[in-house]
Amino acid sequence: MSKVRVQAFSMSIDGFGAGPRQSLDNPLGAGGTTLHQWFYPTRTFQQMVGGEGGTTGVDDEFARRSMEGVGAWIMGRNMFGPQRGPWPDASWKGWWGDNPPYHVPVFVLTHHPRAPVAMQGGTTFHFVTGGIQEALERAREAARAQDVRIGGGVSTVRQYLQAGLVDELHLVVSPTVLGSGEPLLAAIDLPRLGFRCSRHVGTNEALHVVLQKAPAA
């Protein structure tokens, strides 16, 4: 059976999944790029951006696995772009250029309707105004028995966690502190939601923690 997964989601030592003051010039918020320093050097990331080489090892293994078996993505509007309110026009198509790294349908949570946007490489952005349940239903159908990945941002991950809809959670604790920003797990009771740590691996760049939901009795 397909799973709903949060994969390779980076957070700071003090619990923030994004920095404050996101903008067009600073899409991850102040200090946000430090959360992903484990990811940028990997072979997986270099291939995603059209580069060559890159590091192998544990960090790359987790990065690669995070992309495997995924048939659809869900993300919040915050992750898709910096605009707020009604879409001013159809010019903004994400941060990733003409060929985004997803290569499958992506469902964007928003309060404002917009026509789907087809990109190169098989990515099509669909804009969902009916909330997280509608987005998940549509993503499951599009994924065709593959997994659905909840991409972010922080608010989107929190909503799916609080609704009990996430089966697997892979967090990457990066050796950085932000002081402020968007807290990922504040007031979320992971044990009550059924999560248990199934794997944890430290590298020079991060601590990878995999939490899985125990099967219902």
User: Domain ranges in the chain?
Assistant: 4-21+30-81+101-213
- Spatial distance between the Cα atoms of 91 and 73, rounded to a whole number of angstroms: 22
Task: Supply the pTM of this predicted model.
Answer: 0.95
Q: What is the CATH number of domain 4-21+30-81+101-213?
A: 3.40.430.10
* Residue 216: per-residue pLDDT: 62
> In this predicted model, what pLDDT tens digit does every residue of 46-101 receive, in sequence order?
998 888 999 999 999 999 999 999 999 999 998 999 888 999 998 999 999 999 99
- Nearest 5°: the CA angle 166, 98, 114 is 60
pLDDT above 70 covers what percent of the chain? 99
pLDDT in tens, 18-49: 999 888 888 899 999 999 999 999 999 999 88
Residue 105 tokens, joined: 């349908």
